[in-house]
Structure 1
Amino acid sequence: MTDGLFRGLPAIEPGTVWLVGAGPGDPGLLTLHAVHAIGQADVIVYDALVNATCLELARPGAKLEYAGKRGGKPSAKQRDISLRLVELARAGKRVVRLKGGDPFVFGRGGEEAKALFDHGIAFRIVPGVTAGIGGLAYAGIPVTHRDVNHCVTFLTGHDSGGVVPDQIDWDAIARGSPVIVMYMAMKHIASIVDNLMRAGRSVDEPVAIVCNATTDQQQVLETTLGQAEQDLIVAGLSPPAIVVVGGVVPMRQMLDWMGHGLFERMGRAAE
């Protein structure tokens, strides 16, 4: 039956690299292409946010190489990771570069693909479920709802130097985007919420912070822009996390289908 699922799917050719999205954490969110690729690979170069269960799908004898990058911790340099992919491909290996979420959504997949192109290495992109959509869905928060928003903005909370990107036009985003979804934003949450409030967003605007999205360790904090920094400290949450700002957050009160891991907004329990 399993073989039938993969019938007609492409094989990884020796000397090529597949950049594969592993999704936000729940192995059930892997695509068929992703599962098929993992099972064929000679070498899997995987990220820190890849669920270890996904690696159990590797064939016997496959080599697993860790190449995780976590903010504030010793990490492999991006250039070294890209060149390692080139080296493995030139050695005739069938290579899977397994990345959390989607390779092309704040995952540096574009940089790695460009390096492969520059070195004449054939590659394939296998999209994955990105945390900014799938993670919020597991928290019961729709990233769009026609009664709330007709657009959404995705942004990263830090650049390659580990600081809030100075290219972000906070005024334009605050005015034009009813819902804002932020990756890697916890470290600089104070600066980010200050930027949004100075640009005109209300201190009472709903915010949700979803940590370890789609996993058994998922935790969700509901708060507001004005209280987000303090509530986050009290809750003691830590990355990886997705932060969402906007009117879709309160819909969680109806749509929290998982029904666990909820941190009530500070003070609500005392009502």
Structure 2
Amino acid sequence: MSDDVAQALAFIESATLNPIEVGLYSRAADLPRGRDRGKCLGEPGQDGAATIGATLVSVLANLTGQNRTDVANSLEFASRYAAHEAGADDHTAAYWTEFKKCILRLGWFKQEDQWSKDFIDGQTTGAENFSDYVIDNVRGDPLYSSPEKDVIIRALQSPRSQAEKRAFFRRFTAGGDKGSFGVSSATVTDGALAMRFSAFTFSCNAVVDDYLIFNIKNIKADVGKKIIDSIRRQLDHKLDQAAGDYIDSVDI
């Protein structure tokens, strides 16, 4: 066993995760899938999407079933780890910093990492809501390929008309006058599983109860954006809880 794998397994063994609220957010559609979170990201040969904690992750069709499981397990583990470590700061840069640290300790390799700051004035931004703002940001981001942009945008647009899907995502993303969520895409490039991740933190002058549809025309918000661009090295661990409490599929 390599030192890298040994270190990842030791971290997984020692990490404390935010507890699952058993059964409360389970999805009947997920029960036949057993414990494989990858199934929430759809079948190989098809684009897929799911919400995992505060992350809306999209995968391209070329991911195998094992790839999808690796992505889903990594993101849920990091989400629950960051929630425990950040505590009350779960909608701030502190949460996403812990999230990033966990992803890297699980064996993903960082290629690029940066924070940027922005400011939303709802009367001038042109976006109707926060997800429109994120869509515009992703659409103009040169780091995302055209196929990645397409699948992320479809994944962001789809839950806006599905109250149950939004309710699941809201639990992890809304915190009064602050909130955050991440968007991620995963694909296989030259035989390597690659994941690109952007996290958005919002500090608003109004209470926001739903970051997918809340109208931002008359509010102001400070926005922080974090970019993590990673390629998988090794993850030899599967979470021991059934899918459903932190992950929910999205139809795109």
TM-score (norm 1): 0.24
Q: Which one has the bigger strand percentage?
A: 2
Scaled by the length of structure 2, the TM-score of the pair is 0.26
Question: Which one has more relative contact order, counting CA pairs under 8 Å at least 6 apart?
Answer: 2
The structure richer in helix per residue is 2
